Amino acid sequence: MKEIRIHARAGQGAITTATILANAAFEDGKYALSFPTFGAARMGAPMNAFVRISDAPIRVRSQIYKPDYVLVQDPTLMRGFDVLSGLKQEGLAVINNSKDGSELGLKTSARVITVPASRIAKEIMGRADRVNTALIGAFIAATHELTLAALEKSVYSRFSGKAADSNWKALIMAYEEVEKRGNGS
């Protein structure tokens, strides 16, 4: 089983990120579970979403404390929160940041990759806070946990029309950027 923890602020699409990943897992013939957790339900408050993906039925229903993967949608959460807490040594963190992962001063033995998801979202959707599908693209390029075909079906079932097209374009742009840098597996 692979476990993913997503760090974001309420309103940034972390629940949508988890849903898209879980639905893509189903499309790929896997079992999946996604759910959020947050304190005060207010826009901008720190929150987490979680995803479990497995080849067998998933019985665990707790939060994820030792993730294989961490996605950080809002890099300001790295100040004051240990977003890498519990990340497995052989794990991966995908962080929305224009700096290289080695420049972030993170204390982890796990692999860290960055993608300028805010820039991609601003360029494609006109809003720098719509980073979720770009992070998914970077994550998939680095791990190949899910297929692009399954993700495309998931994105187009979650969004419609122009929103679906722009989210898919952001996902592919981030995917190609990570592949081009050689951060893929």
User: Distance (Å, rounded) from C-alpha 131 to C-alpha 4?
Assistant: 17
What structural domains and CATH numbers belong to the chain? 2-181 (3.40.920.10)
117-134 mean pLDDT: 94
Tens of pLDDT, residue by residue over 101-116, are 777 878 888 999 999 9
What pLDDT is attached to residue 38? Answer: 67
Contact 78, 54 (CB under 8 A): no
**Number of neighbouring beta carbons within 10 Å of residue 139:** 29
Q: CA 11, 140, 173, 6: dihedral to nearest 10 degrees?
A: 20
DSSP 164-185: HHHHHHHHHHHHHHHHHHT---
Distances (CA, A) of 56 to 28, 67, 77: 13, 18, 33
Using DSSP bridges, classify how beta strands 2-9 and 46-54 pair: parallel, antiparallel or unpaired: antiparallel
**Alpha helix locations (H) across 7-89?**
14-27
Tens of pLDDT, residue by residue over 5-44, are 999 988 888 999 999 999 999 999 999 999 988 666 677 7
pLDDT at 74 over 80: yes
Whole-structure pTM value: 0.93
119 exposed, middle or buried (CB, 10 Å; 0-12, 13-18, 19+)? middle
